[in-house]
Each structure stands twice: as C-alpha cells, then as structure tokens.
Amino acid sequence: MNILVTGGAGFIGSNLVDSLVNEHKVTVLDNLTSGKNVNPKSVLMVGDVRNWRRTGSAMKEIDVVFHLAASVGNKRSIDNPVRDAEVNALGTLNVLEEARKQGVKKVIISSSAGIFGELKTMPIREDHPCEPDSPYGCSKLYEEKIALAYGKLYELEVVCLRYFNVYGPNQRYDGYGNVIPIFVQRKLNGEPLVIYGDGEQTRDFVHVSDVVQANIRAMAKGVTGVFNIASGKSVTINQLAGWISDNVEHTAERPGDVRDSLADISLAVERFGYAPTVNLEMGVKNYIKWAEKYF
C-alpha cells in the first residue's frame, strides 16, 4: 500500500513511519522545522502542507494519508494564533482537497483533546461538548469538522483520532510542548521542575507506541468517525513530577489549561481493537533513559 505521512519526521509521525515502512511504501511530507527523524526506508519530500502544490505532489498514487503535520500546543497558539490557523486549518484543508482530487481512499486526521475545553463530565466520551479554550483547540476542532464533511461529500473514508497527552521517544524538549519532556529537560539540567498551580490537576498520558497502534488499526476498511486515543487512566502532575525529580517548584496557573482530563477509550476499543499497553511510570523512566542519550 502507498502511504503518505504528513509531519512524518516529527515526534509522533516518525514513530508511525518506523512502524509502517517494513510493510508499505511510505512517503513523508515534512518541512523539518519541528523534527528531523527521517526513516531511510521512506521517501522524503521536504515541503509544507500550507503549500497546496507541494502537498498535491506528495499525494500522487497514495492510498492512505496520515495527517500529523501541525502547529501544536495551547500556549503556542495563544502567542501566535495566525500561524496556528494557517498550519492547522488551511494545511488540513489542502490535505483533504488534494486527497479528494487524487482519489485517496482514506485520510486519518490527528486531532487533540484540546477541542473539549474545560470538562463538564469525566471520563470524557467522544460526544462531550466541544468548547475549546485556545486557538489551538479551535483549529483542531475545525480540522475534525472539515474532514468529516469531506467524508460525507466524497468517496473518502475519514478517521479523526483525538490524542490526549502523548509522550515517548523522539519527543524533544520544546518550551511549548508536553510537560514530560519539559520536566525531563529540567531534571537533566539540574533545574527544578516547575508546576503551574497546585499540581493536583490531572492528565491522561498515552505512550507514542500506543498512538501508533491506534493509527495503524484505524487503517482498516470501514472504520470511520471520531475516537479518543489515550490510556484511559489519569495521574496528577505532582505524581508525575515525583517519578522524575524531587526538586519541584510551584508557580501561578496558566490561562488555557484545563483542570482535569481522563478519556473514555471504549469506542476505539470496540470499533478497531485499540488496546493501550504501556504503563506510565515505566514509560516515563524509559523516556528519561532515551533523553539522556539524545537531549
């Protein structure tokens, strides 16, 4: 099968490509700004999804598209909402339109739990109200809505996978990024871990290998719709920090951060056999070992 992975040199995308290349012909479309993890068995096309011509060139003779190219993060989107919209909204529209034009069979969209905003009920089901608190959440909700509309209008199977807090190998330190690489970077630098608020806020962390598993399972013919991809378990930030370092400081809460998060993953389990396997405490310890080599 011919597969295109946008953002395939980044954190999640590179892990996905590594799992696909032994069974499929994989093309990677990536501008190499947030990651340069290029699998030598893949075909790299350097480009940006905001450029529809380059996106169209990468789409030729493709059967399935995994769309992971994105501007990621609430704080980044608050600081630069225009870029967030250009990459996430316009970029996704370019991917869908070129997929339609070139007869792609399936597009799998990487969405985010950021679409929900402050939570009203937990665990979070797919039908939870979507009231995002940041431009990032808004742009990801747009991605879902436009993708699902394309699925209704055209002969195109569409899956939207709502990732919760993903962590694991190839996730580099980024001040805008996930709390785990930020904490690990500070630990390796001998600096205190900075927790916003009281640290009793909860998050549902999922290992990148489980996210990869979800994407590959979602390729199955007939699987369409929106699915939560998480571990189905939550942990406080204080507990997470304790697995990494004893040197911790607290500061004021950040705008745009939700208080609690816990996913209901039963729909993905039922529809395509999703089964998260990585224990968070062990996953974090293994990530620290990886970071010691590559940070």
The answer to whether position 258 is within a domain reads no
The answer to whether position 178 is within a domain reads no
pLDDT on residue 175: 58
Show which residues are catalytic.
136
The answer to whether position 145 is within a domain reads yes
pLDDT on residue 263: 97
pLDDT digits (tens, 9 = 90+) for 214-259: 999 999 999 999 999 999 999 999 999 999 999 999 999 987 677 8
CATH number at residue 11: 3.40.50.720
CB atoms within 10 A of CB 215: 25
For the chain, the domain total comes to 1
The answer to whether position 244 is within a domain reads no
pLDDT on residue 144: 98
Q: Is the dihedral of CA 185, 190, 191, 196 positive or negative?
A: positive
Return per-residue pLDDT of the chain as tens, 295 residues: 999 999 999 999 999 999 999 999 999 999 998 889 999 999 999 999 999 999 999 999 999 999 999 998 888 899 999 999 999 999 999 999 999 999 999 999 999 999 998 889 999 999 999 999 999 999 999 999 999 999 999 999 999 999 999 999 999 887 556 899 999 999 999 999 999 999 999 999 999 999 999 999 999 999 999 999 999 999 999 999 999 999 999 999 987 677 889 999 999 999 999 999 999 999 999 999 999 998 8
**Coil, helix or strand at residue 19:** helix
**Mean of pLDDT over the chain:** 95
The answer to whether position 86 is within a domain reads yes
Q: How far is CA 263 from the centre of its chain?
A: 15
Torsion over CA of 39, 44, 48 and 53, rounded to 10 degrees? -150
The answer to whether position 193 is within a domain reads no
The answer to whether position 84 is within a domain reads yes
pLDDT digits (tens, 9 = 90+) for 67-99: 999 998 888 899 999 999 999 999 999 999 999
The answer to whether position 189 is within a domain reads no
Q: How far is residue 47 from each of residues 10, 52, 207, 231, measured CA to CA in Å?
A: 13, 10, 28, 33
Conformational region of residue 117, where left means phi above 0, alpha means psi within -120 to 50, and beta covers everything else: left
Q: Where do runs of H (alpha helix) occur along 154-197? A: 179-188
The answer to whether the pTM exceeds 0.85 is yes
Q: Write out the residue range of the structural domain in which residue 50 sits.
A: 2-169+205-232+263-277
